[in-house]
Amino acid sequence: MTHSVPLYLDGEFVESQAHRSIANINPATQLTLAQVPCTTFEEIDRAIASAEQAFKDWRDVPVPERARLMMNFCQRLKDQQDDIAETLSQETGKIFADAKGDVWRGIEVVEHACNIPSLIMGETVENVARDIDTSSYLQPLGVCAGITPFNFPAMIPLWMFPLALACGNTFILKPSEQDPLTPMQIAEIFQQAGFPKGVLQVIHGDREQVDHLITHPAIKAISFVGSARVGQHIYRSGTDHLKRVQCMTGAKNHMVIMPDADRQQVISHLVGSSVGAAGQRCMAISVAVFVGDSVQWLDELKDAMSKVKPGLWNEEDAGFGPLISGAARQRVLGLIEQGKEEGADCLLDGSGFTHPDYPDGNWIGPTLFADVKPHMSIYKEEIFGPVLITMHVDSLDEALDLINNNPYGNGTSLFTNSGGAARHFQRNVLVGQVGINVPIPVPLPFFSFTGWRQSFYGDQHAYGKQAIRFYTETKTVISRWFHHGEEVQRPNLTIQMR
């Protein structure tokens, strides 16, 4: 009998009283790993009340002490990263190397949070007017919340709550119901790190629990990563309830290949960035735009992709794992068929792939389309599978027009040996994260994750300096101290300081 995933409430792991649950299924074997409770509204309210109470003391913990706790947490994550990655592989299907990358990119954000004393510094100017000084301070908001997706169950929770807590807030985490075991393992490590009870709470569920969370009056800020449709709903609902919201949503990432690029580098990076993690990355390259004669490399690209085989997380020759669910697989298969029906040339079709030992897994092999046009469904929709579509244009400016007319603006790349082409591209492309000879331009945590347009809703992005601003409020203090016996000035009836 499978166990029920616990909640993490007020510093303790407790069994939910929920009457409804969701099966947590291994996507390669279809075996049920656990039952995920749909947390009751009373339990969510209890978590929020606990976080409100904890905030009263946590906000007053000296910043260096918060940093030291974060350092302890960070070291424990490093010590146990292989164990976390194995859990992550089991419930997401990711191969082990990819799972370790997921965990490590989260640890990097925790490392950044350890620098909170310098990150949270305010500003001061002495003598802005005669004997008047002005200072600004960054102060915490209160209870914040994070809603995270299935595709990075370690990295994205670690994008959120460590920085929020380092700033002095408390936090409610609602991880994806499709792979909650990884976040719960991280919560166990967090508990061991010595943080006060109540500063972090973890609840579970689906749309009902999310809606109750984001409309609760005690929640001050909400961070979300996931689909565009859900992100739009959360952004509108959150802002309607006067909350600070950041939503990182859909993507359609293009890689532009110039004829002067290094051919072998292009082929290698295109394969890895398109089918790695079964294409289930918001920064995956799903569109290759060949400029001019570079289109001649298509046959070599097809050959390289055909050599990548899906497999189980611990199979040495596996390039990537299964899709997260049967529903996700059916959606991708449907889009592959639509692409064929709409006239795209399917050079490599992975829709019939089956693993010999695990035939019930959510498998799709590498798939490659050529002659794709902007009106086709496989171009307009985010496929989120191991499917690469290719297009051909005559010039870099045509490629820029194609990208800039797409509604998404998460990431893009240009492969070239021309500095002039690179500068023209990075200056004029309407995308928030740009790689030059880098296929997946995800910044390290001391920068921010800066998707644009319909890939992001909000005004402050994840991690980096912008996250510090997102999780804090600025207080400005203007002060003047009078000298004993100082002559009293006549009343100042203007707004001018003097």
Q: Which residues are catalytic?
A: 282
Element (H, E) at 486: none
Residue 420's Cβ-side half-sphere holds a number of Cα atoms within 13 Å equal to 2
CB 301 within 8 A of CB 265: no
Which residues touch 497 (CB under 8 Å, ≥6 apart)? 128, 129, 132
Q: Which of 483, 492, 495 is nearest to 131 (CA)?
A: 483
Which residues touch 43 (CB under 8 Å, ≥6 apart)? 7, 9, 16, 17, 18, 203
Residue type at 357 in one-letter notation:
D
Three-state SS at 447? coil
Q: Which of 478, 455, 463, 497 is nearest to 105 (CA)?
A: 463
Q: What tokens does 63 get? A: 């910043």
CB 269 within 8 A of CB 415: yes
Question: What is the spatial distance between Cα 120 and Cα 114, in angstroms, rounded to a whole number?
Answer: 11
Cα separations (Å) of 348 from 219, 359, 388, 481?
Answer: 48, 21, 10, 76
Question: What is the spatial distance between Cα 404 and Cα 427, in angstroms, rounded to a whole number?
Answer: 12
Question: What is the spatial distance between Cα 228 and Cα 193, in angstroms, rounded to a whole number?
Answer: 35
Q: Which of 31, 36, 41 is nearest to 15 (CA)?
A: 36
Residue where the block lists tokens 């889009």: 335
Q: What tokens does 360 get? A: 């019930």
Residue type at 431 in one-letter notation:
V
Cα separations (Å) of 68 from 19, 75, 193, 293?
Answer: 40, 11, 10, 55
Question: What is the spatial distance between Cα 252 and Cα 275, in angstroms, rounded to a whole number?
Answer: 14
489-496: long-range contacts at Cβ-Cβ below 8 A with a sequence spacing of 24 or more? Answer: none
Question: What is the spatial distance between Cα 193 and Cα 141, in angstroms, rounded to a whole number?
Answer: 23
